[in-house]
Amino acid sequence: MGLDVLGVSKTFDTRKGRVAALRDVSLRVGRGRFVSLIGPTGCGKSTLLRIVAGLVEADGGTVSIFGEPPERATAAKHVGFVPQSPALLPWRTVLDNVRVPFQVNRKADSVLGRRFRDPVEVLESFGLGDVLHSRPDQLSGGMQQKVAIARAFVFDPSILLMDEPFSALDELTRERQRHELLDIWQSDQKTVLFVTHSVPEAVALSDAVVVMSAQPGRVRAVIPVNLPRPRGELVEATDVFHDLERRVRSELRVAWNDNHA
Amino acid sequence: MHEETATETSALVDATDQSSEEHRLVEEDVSRGLHYWIHPRVWLPPLVAFGLLALGWQLYAVHNRFIIPTVPQILTQLVDHPGLFWRNLLVTLQEAVVGASIGMLAAFVLAMGMCQVRLVERALMPLAVMINVTPIIAIAPVLVLAFGFGMTPKYIVTAVIVFFPFLINSLTGLRSSDPQAHDVFTTLHASKWEILLRLRLPSSLPFLFAAARICVPLSVVGAVVAEYVAPGKASGLGSLIETAMSLSDLKTVYASVLVLALLGIGLSAVVVVLQRRLLGWHQTAPRRP
């Protein structure tokens, strides 16, 4: 059980005609696995994530999140979504932002055996204990993104979907965030589908990297990452890590050439 | 050597910290209200500007006594008949405030409906545009015919004049919410109503206040226009101007105009104060210079 994507296709009608965003895409993320989607711009990785999140409807194929279609999974609050920008509510404090999931769609909360976390505890474990009552605009970009992740963690969804959450951060902050996310994930081992542009990010975080190519968007290769866990910052200095990076890069190059041939 | 540089840098950092701390203290001091107005740099520039205007007026008026009253004459008129101006001010104030409240509330409720149901927008927006482009001065006499000389036609004119700007701003505001925040709410399966209440409505507040700053002074215009065409019990500053004009009592006319200007300033100030209180989180919240 986990996330199963089977033969998903999607075309968009644009002014330039029909664009095949995804063609016959299949992938699977086992329970407690961390899988990254990487690929050139326009390969449909974000579209795929949005289909899984129930934000976009696929033209064909099936998506199953622990046995449920996206519509049912989101209705039951089983899906945690972390968008590209933190998308916090600027009029609320950090703590009140993380409480948002408890204030909407309350029907889903009354289900028996539903587990919740204490927002304060989650924020403290994310190192945000000192800024509980701050406004988002008083926080750095990295901290804001952590609040957004906390907001997706707090209602204990069965899958986390992250759409390039660190893309707006500077390189150093980005590396810090990557390792903090690793620590958080290590203690919890959530099922994660993670969209990224960054090769080191994908390799450092994932159990498998899915390389996609564009027009139409499809899966080019799945590269398993067998680095031992828990992974510290030092893992990025090992030869195995560099070999994996090289493999992902060469697949990306082929994917890129596919587009521009 | 490295260490030395490090110390220097940290000293530098300390220095900037301190100055920003001082800056903050000054700002806090400033925001304490009355304190702020004591600084000459705050009250001196506008005072000089008004002084020059009054001086120019006076020079012109002295040479054109039959067209324009002098500044002392206008002020004397105010001081000699405080009850007259106060009574009429209250009437106009009531028309403006009640009319504007009705107009803005109606516009906001309609904007929420338009935002939630596309069909409502398609059906009613052309009607709203039509009301907006019809000169209010042309409708006012008909309203008097229909609703009499009481307060009702005045409320209606005032409400109509603020309705459209507030409608458009509310609608823009309700639609201005962050699409990615919208995505987060959608993946939580929040209902349309929950999204309206918890995301769209707070997001629209900066737009509502921007609109209020336009609409509130506009409501005074509405009230005066209504009084012009429907003097009613001959009360309100607009009626006072109308009556004084027919008697060639220019001192009263200009004194009334001055009171109207002060009324506009007072109402605008109330909006600014509310905006500052409620909108501290937003960058458009007015800051003191």
Phi, psi of B269 (to 5 degrees): -60, -40
Each domain of chain A, given as residue ranges in start order, spans: 1-78+158-251, 88-156
Q: Which of B73, B99, B59 is nearest to B258 (CA)?
A: B73
Question: Is residue B10 pLDDT above 70, yes or no?
Answer: no
The answer to whether B275 and B262 have CB atoms below 8 angstroms apart is: no
Nearest to B189 among A103, A108, A137 (CB): A108
- Is the minimum CB–CB distance between B246 and chain A shorter than 8 Å? no
By CB neighbour count within 10 A (0-12 exposed, 13-18 middle, 19+ buried), where does A76 fall?
buried
- Interchain CB distance below 8 Å, B281 and A83: no
Contact B183 A88 (CB under 8 A): no
Which of A49, A77, A89, A105 to mutate to test binding with chain B, by most B CBs within 10 Å of its CB?
Answer: A89
Contact A85 B187 (CB under 8 A): no
The pLDDT tens digits for B176-230 are 999 999 999 999 999 999 999 999 999 999 999 999 999 999 999 999 988 888 7
Whether residue A87 and residue B181 make contact (CB cut-off 8 A), yes or no, is: yes
Q: Which two tokens stand for residue A193?
A: 């589908």
Q: Indicate yes or no: CB of B178 within 8 angstroms of CB of A151.
A: no
B149 φ/ψ sector (left φ>0, alpha ψ -120 to 50, else beta): alpha
Q: Is B186 on the interface with A (CB under 8 A)?
A: yes
So what's the pLDDT on residue B203? 94
Whether B202 and A91 lie within 8 Å, measured CB to CB: yes
Q: Is B68 on the interface with A (CB under 8 A)?
A: no
Query: Residue A77: which of B184, B188, B281 has the nearest Cβ?
Result: B188
Touching check for B193 and chain A: CB below 8 Å? no
Residues of chain A with C-beta less than 8 angstroms from the C-beta of B194: 103-105
- Does A216 sit behind a cis peptide bond, omega within 30 degrees of 0 on the bond before it? yes
When pLDDT is cut at 50, 70 and 90, the band that residue A259 belongs to is low
State residue B14's pLDDT score. Answer: 41
pLDDT at B282: 76
pLDDT tens for B31-51 read 446 667 778 888 899 899 999
Q: What is the pLDDT of residue A42?
A: 79
Residue carrying structure tokens 């324009």:
B68
In words, the CATH class of domain B72-278 is mainly alpha
Helix, strand, coil percent content, chain A, rounded in steps of 5: 40, 25, 35
pLDDT of residue B289: 44
Select from 3.40.50.300, 3.20.20.370, 3.50.50.60, 3.30.428.10 the CATH code of A1-78+158-251.
3.40.50.300
Q: What pLDDT is stored for residue B285 in this prediction?
A: 60
Residue A123: partners with Cβ closer than 8 Å, 6 or more residues away: A94, A95, A98, A129, A132, A147, A150
Half-sphere exposure (CA, 13 Å, Cβ side) for A207?
17
- Residue B8 — pLDDT band, cuts 50, 70, 90? very low
| Inter-chain CB proximity A90 and B282 less than 8 Å | yes
Of chain B, the end-to-end C-alpha distance in Å amounts to 44
Instruction: Find the mean pLDDT for residues B145-150.
Output: 82
Q: How far is B268 from chain A (nearest CA, A)?
A: 24
Per-residue DSSP letter, B196? I
- Give chain B positions within 8 Å (CB) of A91: 202, 205, 281-282
pLDDT in tens, A151-201: 999 998 999 999 999 988 888 888 888 888 998 888 888 999 999 999 999
* Substitution target from B189, B191, B208 for chain A, most A beta carbons within 10 A: B189
With an 8 Å Cβ cutoff, is A55 touching chain B?
yes
CB burial of B115-145 (b: ≥16 within 10 Å; e: otherwise) equals bbeeeebeeeeeebeeeeeeebeebbeebbe
B194–A101 CB contact, under 8 Å: no
Contacts of A84 in chain B (CB under 8 A): 180
User: Which residues have a Cβ under 8 Å from the Cβ of B186 and sit 6 or more positions away?
Assistant: A54, A55, A74, B195
Contacts of A108 in chain B (CB under 8 A): 189
